[in-house]
Structure 1
Amino acid sequence: MKYIRYVSIAIFALALVLIALANRGTVTLRVLPDELAGFAALNPTYDLPLFVVIFGGILAGLVVGFVWEWIREAGERIAAARQARELASLRAEVARLKKRDTRESDEVLALLDEAS
């Protein structure tokens, strides 16, 4: 099973290297469209290899997806924390009740002990 994971990682890495080698051409990346550049005081442009733009877009999408999922699951994390606190308090109560001597406080058992 470990070897299957290593082979999968190697194939994925080889695919990324091949994509990078096939897309080495330089592209100009503009922050704003030309129509909006007149309103802005500056319009920076960057000359980058195409594979950097592709991998950057994939990375940005992953980050946005992870943040979106983290925000979406906030209610579930709050509910899990509440259940953990409730479980801890119930365990503490059970431990406290186990320590207490039930013979002295249980009236039925005390009556049975007196009868014998």
Structure 2
Amino acid sequence: MRAIRIFFIVILALVLMLLAAANRDFVTISLVPEALAQFTGGQWSLTMPAFVALFLAMVFGVLVGLVWEWLRESHLRSESSRRAHDLAQLQREVGDLRRVHTAPRDDVLAILDESAQRPAAAAGSGSALPAPR
């Protein structure tokens, strides 16, 4: 799996280097149309190599896609968080119920349960209770 990942990274690097080598000419990118630039004032254009403009456009597209998906999936994250909270609460309740049901009950009932579980011969020897008939 690691070799496949490295192979794809090398191929991607080669493609990007070829793209950069083929697009070294300078281009001017205008951020505001020239008709509106006179009203806004200032310099609203950038001159850069074409491959830089392509890379910036790709990075911008990836960032917009990430933000879009993060916003689109926000309801799934909130539902997952709510369900995780409910699950933790149910696990606490089950733990409390297990502790309650495994806790010793009344002392008298515990003695009676203990004597009922012992064999008949062992109950008669050294016990304060009378031997079963």
The TM-score range, normalised by the shorter chain, is 0.7 to 0.9
- 1:87 equivalent in alignment to 2:87: yes
Instruction: Specify the alignment match of 2:56 in structure 1.
Output: 56
Q: Which runs of 4+ in 1 moved over 3 A?
A: 101-105
Structure 1 position 101, deviation (Å): 3.3
Q: Return the alpha-carbon distance in structure 1 between the equivalents of residues 77 and 8 of structure 2.
A: 32
Describe the SS at the equivalent of 2:27: strand
Identify which range, 82-91 or 41-50, moves more after superposition: 41-50
State how 1:4-23 maps to structure 2 within 5 Å: 4-23=4-23
Q: Secondary structure, in 3 states, of the residue corresponding to 2:88?
A: helix
SS in 2 for 1:24: coil
Q: Is the 8 A contact 1:32 1:43 kept in 2?
A: no
Alpha-carbon offset, residue 39 of structure 1: 1.4
Q: Could you tell me how far 1:43 is from its partner in structure 2?
A: 3.1
Query: TM-score if structure 2 supplies the norm length?
Result: 0.74
> Alignment identity in percent?
40
Mapped contact 2:28–2:46 kept (Cα < 8 A):
yes
Q: Flag the structure with larger Rg.
A: 2
Query: How many Å separate the matches in 2 of 1:30 and 1:101?
Result: 75
Matched residues, number = 109
Contact 1:31 1:45 survives alignment (8 Å): yes
Q: Compute the RMSD of aligned alpha carbons.
A: 2.1
- Runs of 5+ in structure 2 lacking a partner? 107-112, 117-133
Q: Structure 1: how far apart are the matches of 2:6 and 2:25?
A: 31
Q: Which has the higher contact order (CA 8 A, sep 6+)?
A: 1
The one-character-per-residue Cα deviations of 1:17-65 (angstroms, maximum 9, x if unpaired) are 0000100100111221111112112233221000000010010010000
Q: Which ranges in structure 1 are unaligned for 5 or more consecutive residues? A: 106-112
1:1-116 → structure 2 map (5 Å cutoff): 1-101=1-101, 104=105
